[in-house]
Amino acid sequence: MCTELDVPLPDGKVEKHLQREEIEPGIHGEITKCFLRADGAPICQGALYDLLGYSTDTETAEAILEGTFVPPPGTDGPTVIILEEIARIWKKILGDGEVNIAITQVDYQH
């Protein structure tokens, strides 16, 4: 449980929040910024996003996992590397064709 929150101010000082009514909106604001940062990533824009769609449940997504996807012209280098790594990791995880994912309560809490 969070009992205090330091909020940086534009002048460089830090304002300490100790009340729940101040802490919760402050945390919400920071979390929202984190989630919205991904919207600016190259993979979330342009031709690649059009191919993947919002839920990435497309043939393109399957091709990425299988390592057969050819990125559209203009795809930046770091994104190409990430796509290649996705395929490499997927192949390593998939192994014999089955994925066994078990998340214990302890794992989740960690």
Give the residues of the chain that fall short of pLDDT 50. none
Q: How far apart are CA 104 and CA 110, in angstroms?
A: 10
Is the same domain home to 27 and 58? no
Is the same domain home to 13 and 52? no
Instruction: Return the structure tokens found at 31.
Output: 């979390």
Q: Which helix (H) or strand (E) holds 79?
A: helix 77-94
CA 102 to chain CA centroid, Å, is 21
Is the same domain home to 76 and 51? yes
Query: Would you state the pLDDT for residue 99?
Result: 66
- Judge whether 110 lies within some domain: no
Query: Would you state the pLDDT for residue 71?
Result: 92
Query: Would you state the pLDDT for residue 101?
Result: 75
Is the same domain home to 51 and 78? yes
Q: How far apart are CA 62 and CA 14, in angstroms?
A: 47
Is the same domain home to 24 and 66? no
Is the same domain home to 54 and 75? yes
Residue 16's region, left for phi above 0, alpha for psi from -120 to 50, else beta, is: beta
Is the same domain home to 73 and 48? yes
Structurally, how many domains does the chain consist of?
A: 2
Query: Would you state the pLDDT for residue 83?
Result: 93
Is the same domain home to 84 and 51? yes
- Judge whether 103 lies within some domain: no
Is the same domain home to 50 and 35? no
Domain of 68, in residue numbers: 42-94
Is the same domain home to 55 and 34? no
Query: Would you state the pLDDT for residue 96?
Result: 65
Amino acid type, 54: Y
- The residue assigned the tokens 């994925």 is 99
